[in-house]
Structures are given as structure tokens and as C-alpha cells.
């Protein structure tokens, strides 16, 4: 631990639980994340992250150099990943990458969480694109370990609600044959934090890398608030039985759907996913022939799907959410598919959502007047 910092600091942005600054002139390049620990709980989070990072040495995990303490102001000095969070790369239209990039990134990330679990009995509990960082060489590194937890027997019971709701594993529903309503199913669900919950979150990250858009946007209210409760109800009622398949090779779809199985017991461990991704990359000569290194074109204004997602080398633009809905409805009309409407009241305003005959959402919740428009 040190008590002073001799480097000039340049503000980068806000990270989990604190602000992040680049340390100008530090060798190797480094950043410092500051927290104000005004109570024991915040200090515990800080110490938890430091202890977790000190134990882990893996090329795809952000490296801790040291930490500082000045009264209630504490800081973690760690490796600097110049291209910032993965979320920014996924949504940056000037960056184009291939399915070889996708598989290589998947191998890096699943290798990292497998190392954390196998070597250190750690689960991250907040895996998401904002907590994965990108170097100048487009290597990925997992960071922000404030919610990391040590597991002894493979699982640890924690408080339901820890993590980022969009990327959190659903609670595992009991399947003991007892008749329960949806509220009882959720209330009695197993909320243990296990290694396979990190696998679930990383499966969603892989989905976003391929789709280049955010998962579960149909569960957003007014385009901002993520309605996790509605997602859990739909899962409990079996209106939703799996996530939407990403547009890519069937073998990659299969492993992502396996990682994101709503029942934890049916998910693979990270080591199994890692082996599968390595085998797929080696066996698929087309994917392995594609370049790993992403390209950058400052004049490109629209997002492109990963090159090779459709077994072709031509670039394909990412479709907007609106166009995806239009295509679904066009396909539905051709197949004479029935579409149903759900209506709910929010205060005094009616909202409507369209679903298909299986109960799968076709639109987000919209104000009744917006549907007519």
C-alpha cells in the first residue's frame, strides 16, 4: 500500500463504485480508480476487489499493481486498457471484426473465468460488457472485481439482487412437482451464486458481441429502465424458454444457448465452453481463415455484423430494432401466424405488448397511443 501518487492524473470516466484516471508517465501504462469509503460496507468492497486482483495473474484479467489510502479516499492502481470497455467497441460503427475475433474473444474470456474458478475458487458476479476492457491490441481483460465472491464447495448463497440486473442469471425455479403460482416460484427460487452464473452472464456478453446490440431490449420501459421482474415472470410462466438465437453458425448458437440456459444445472462449466470454442475455431476452416485483428474506418457510420457470421466475407450492416420487428411481422403474415396483445395499466395509462402464439414478446411495452402511430 502507498499513501501518495507522484503521477499526473487524466480523468477517463466513471467505473464501478468510483472514478477512473490515467496515470500519465506510469510504466507500464496504468489507471487509478478512486473510491470514497465513508462506511464499512464500501471499505469492504474496496478491500474485496484488491484482495481478489492480488491473487489473480492471468493475461485476460486486469492486473493490480498496488493500492493507495489517504483517509477515506482509497485508490486501486491497475493495468490500463486503452480502448476502454468492450461495450464501446461493440457499439462503435467505425470498428469491424470477424467471427474469428468473436471466437478468440470468447476463448480469452472463458479461459479467464475458468482460471478464476479453478485456481482461486472465485466467482465474479458482475460480468457484463462494461466490466470487460480492451487493449490497443484488441485483447480482452475482465475487471471491476468489487462483487467477487470466494466459493468453497462450488456455490455460495448470496443476496438476490447483487450484480447488474440485465446480465444476472435468473433464479433457478424449483422443479419438485409442487403446484405454485408465479409469485411462489420466484419467491422459492434458488438464488445461489455459482460459477455457472458467471457462465450465463458471459453467454449474454458473447450474444452481444455477435449481434452488436444490447440483450433484452424488449424488456426496457421507456427505453431506459430494465424490467427484470417482467422477464422473471415470463420465464416462470414459460412464455420465454430461451434467449433469442444470435445470427451465426449453428454450433456457436448451440453453445451460447447452453451457457444462457435459464436453469443453472443445465449450463456447462467454463472449461467445457473453452474446449468447445477452441475445437470450433480449429475445425471451422472458414472462420479460422478470417483475420483476428479488427479494422477501424473513421468514415464508417453504420455498425457491421461480424464478418463471416453468415459464412460469407461480405460486410453486412446491423439491422435496426425497428426493421427487425418489421421483418418478423412480415414473416408472420406470410405464415398466417397469429399475434396477440397484452394490455396493462401503468398508473392511468394503458400499455400494450404484442406476443406470438407461444407467448414470446414481439414488441416492448408501448403506450397505447404509440401503437396507433
Beta partners for 156?
193
Tens-place pLDDT, residues 177-209: 455 565 565 565 554 558 899 999 999 999 999
193 shares its domain with 231: yes
* pTM greater than 0.75 (yes/no): yes
For 290-303, write each residue's pLDDT tens digit. Answer: 999 999 999 999 99
73 and 92 together in one domain: no
Does the residue 306 lie in any domain? no
pLDDT, position 1: 47
- Report if residue 75 sits inside a domain: yes
Alpha-carbon gap, residue 290 to 269, rounded angstroms: 28
Residues 61 and 17 occupy one common structural domain: yes
| Domain contains 171 | yes
* CA-atom Rg of the chain in angstroms: 22
* Per-state percent for the chain, helix, strand, coil, to nearest 5: 35, 25, 40
What pLDDT digit, counting tens, does each position of 340-364 carry? Answer: 677 777 776 777 777 776 677 777 7
Q: Residue 339 pLDDT more than 80?
A: no
Domain count, the chain: 3
Look over the chain and give the mean of its residue pLDDT values, rounded to a whole number: 83
DSSP state of 131: G
Mean pLDDT of the region 27-45:
83
Does a structural domain hold residue 216?
Answer: yes
268, 340: one domain: no
Q: Which of 115-124, 280-289, 304-313, 317-326 has the lowest mean pLDDT?
A: 317-326
Q: Does the pLDDT value for residue 157 go beyond 60?
A: no
Looking at residue 69, its pLDDT comes to 81
Contact (Cβ atoms closer than 8 angstroms) between residue 220 and residue 186: no
Helical residues (DSSP H) of the chain, grouped into ranges: 40-55, 86-90, 99-120, 182-187, 195-211, 228-236, 250-259, 270-283, 285-289, 321-334, 368-372
Q: Which residue has the higher pLDDT, 250 or 327?
A: 250
Predicted pLDDT of residue 258:
97
- Whole-number Å distance between alpha carbons of 347 and 327: 32
According to the model, what pLDDT value does residue 154 have?
A: 42
Residue 85 in this model has a pLDDT that exceeds 60: yes
Q: Tell me what pLDDT residue 184 has.
A: 63
CATH of the domain at 212: 1.10.510.10
Same domain, 47 and 95: no
In whole angstroms, give the CA distance from residue 296 to residue 252. Answer: 25
Question: How high is the pLDDT of residue 27?
Answer: 92
Is the domain of 61 the same as that of 101?
A: no
Q: Is the pLDDT of residue 43 over 80?
A: no
Cβ neighbours of 82 (radius 10 Å): 13
Chain-centroid distance of CA 302 in Å reads 22
What is the per-residue pLDDT for 40? 78
Domain that includes residue 345, residue range: 321-372
pLDDT of residue 48: 73
Is 33 annotated in a binding site? The answer is yes
Question: Tens of pLDDT along 129-144?
Answer: 999 999 999 999 998 8
DSSP assignment letter at 166: G
290 and 251, same structural domain? Answer: yes
Tell me, yes or no, whether 161 and 207 share the same domain: yes
Strand partners, 367: 351
DSSP 8-state assignment for residue 176: S
Amino acid at each position: 500500500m502507498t499513501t501518495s501518487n507522484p503521477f499526473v492524473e487524466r480523468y477517463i470516466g466513471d467505473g464501478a463504485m468510483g472514478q477512473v484516471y490515467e496515470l500519465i508517465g506510469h510504466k507500464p501504462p496504468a489507471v487509478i480508480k478512486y473510491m470514497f469509503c465513508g462506511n464499512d460496507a464500501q471499505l469492504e468492497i474496496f478491500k474485496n476487489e484488491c484482495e481478489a486482483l492480488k491473487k489473480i495473474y492471468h493475461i485476460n484479467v486486469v492486473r493490480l499493481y498496488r493500492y493507495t489510502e489517504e483517509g477515506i479516499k482509497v485508490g486501486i492502481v491497475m493495468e490500463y486498457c486503452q480502448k476502454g470497455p468492450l461495450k464501446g467497441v461493440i457499439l462503435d460503427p467505425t470498428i469491424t471484426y470477424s467471427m474469428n475475433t468473436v471466437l478468440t474473444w470468447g476463448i480469452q474470456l472463458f479461459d479467464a473465468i475458468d482460471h478464476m474458478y479453478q485456481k482461486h475458487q472465485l466467482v465474479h458476479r458482475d460480468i457484463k460488457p462494461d466490466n470487460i476492457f480492451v487493449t490497443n491490441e484488441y485483447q480482452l481483460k475482465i475487471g471491476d472485481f468489487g462483487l467477487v465472491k470466494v466459493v468453497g464447495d462450488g456455490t455460495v448463497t448470496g443476496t438476490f439482487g447483487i450484480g447488474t440486473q440485465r446480465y444476472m442469471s435468473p433464479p433457478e425455479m424449483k422443479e419438485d412437482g409442487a403446484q405454485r403460482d408465479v409469485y411462489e416460484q420466484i419467491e422459492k427460487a434458488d438464488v445461489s451464486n455459482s460459477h455457472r452464473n458467471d457462465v450465463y452472464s458471459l453467454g449474454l456478453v458473447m450474444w452481444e458481441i455477435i449481434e452488436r446490440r444490447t440483450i433484452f431490449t424488449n424488456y426496457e420501459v421507456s427505453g431506459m429502465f430494465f424490467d427484470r421482474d417482467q422477464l422473471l415472470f415470463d420465464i416462470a410462466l414459460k412464455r420465454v424458454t430461451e434467449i433469442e438465437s444470435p445470427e451465426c453458425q449453428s454450433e456457436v448458437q448451440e453453445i451460447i444457448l447452453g451457457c444462457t440456459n435459464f436453469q443453472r444445472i443445465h449450463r456447462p462449466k467454463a472449461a467445457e465452453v473453452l474446449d468447445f470454442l477452441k475445437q470450433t475455431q480449429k475445425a471451422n476452416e472458414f472462420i479460422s481463415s478470417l483475420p483476428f485483428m479488427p479494422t477501424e474506418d473513421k468514415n464508417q457510420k453504420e455498425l457491421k455484423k461480424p464478418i463471416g457470421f453468415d459464412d460469407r466475407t461480405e460486410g453486412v450492416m446491423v439491422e435496426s430494432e425497428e426493421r427487425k420487428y418489421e421483418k418478423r411481422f412480415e414473416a408472420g403474415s406470410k405464415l398466417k401466424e397469429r399475434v396477440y396483445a397484452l394490455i396493462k395499466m401503468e398508473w392511468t395509462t394503458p400499455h400494450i405488448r404484442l406476443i406470438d402464439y407461444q407467448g414470446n414478446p414481439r414488441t416492448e411495452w408501448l403506450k397505447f397511443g404509440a401503437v396507433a402511430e
